[in-house]
Amino acid sequence: MVVPHHATGARLARHRLADELADVVPPILLADLVAVLAELVGNAVRHADPLPGGVVRVAWRLRSTADGQRVQLRVTDGGSASGPLMRAADPDAVDGRGLHIVSGLASRWGVDRDGLGQSVWAEFDPVATTRSDLVVAG
């Protein structure tokens, strides 16, 4: 999907992801996906140039495994001079923790660059569902 290179782009992407994957992945994984996507789009808007047309491209891919759904998120923007960097944030700082959140929630993440810009991606291994995660109505 394509979203505006604006703060509203993160909201649009979060809602679309949540709507499309609500019945496909476990709720705990969906919450992590939504949080990471918001961080990646927010970082693209704050720190990178837009793609032509003033947009950011957002994509997700699911792969079924024996353990559940493996998901990759990808946010593509026009790039920046320095690229994404994890920063050290003071305890009182109001920002600077985005990539720490991505790193903490995703199984792995990285950056791909080409002549048109950069893509920041995050992959999530399947969430193991145990009996304690199940709720029985009755």
What's the pLDDT at 132? 41
User: Is 18 domain-assigned?
Assistant: yes
What's the pLDDT at 138? 40
**CATH code of the domain in which 85 resides:** 3.30.565.10
Q: Whats the size of the chain, residue-wise?
A: 138
Query: Residue 45 in contact with residue 7, Cβ under 8 Å?
Result: yes
pTM over 0.85: no
What's the pLDDT at 133? 46
pLDDT digits (tens, 9 = 90+) for 2-18: 999 999 999 999 999 99
Query: Per-residue b/e over 70-94, b at no fewer than 16 CB within 10 Å?
Result: bbbbbbbbbbbeeebeeeeeeeeee
User: Is 76 domain-assigned?
Assistant: yes
> Residue 47: in which H helix or E strand, if any?
helix 27-47
User: Is 88 domain-assigned?
Assistant: yes
Instruction: Provide the residue range defining the domain that includes 19.
Output: 2-133
User: Is 138 domain-assigned?
Assistant: no
Query: Residue 58 in contact with residue 37, Cβ under 8 Å?
Result: yes
pLDDT in tens, the chain (138 residues): 999 999 999 999 999 999 999 999 899 999 999 999 999 999 999 999 999 999 999 999 999 888 877 999 999 999 988 776 666 666 665 455 678 889 899 999 999 998 788 999 999 998 754 434 444 444
Q: Report the domain count for the chain.
A: 1
Query: Residue 46 in contact with residue 77, Cβ under 8 Å?
Result: no
Query: Residue 33 in contact with residue 16, Cβ under 8 Å?
Result: no
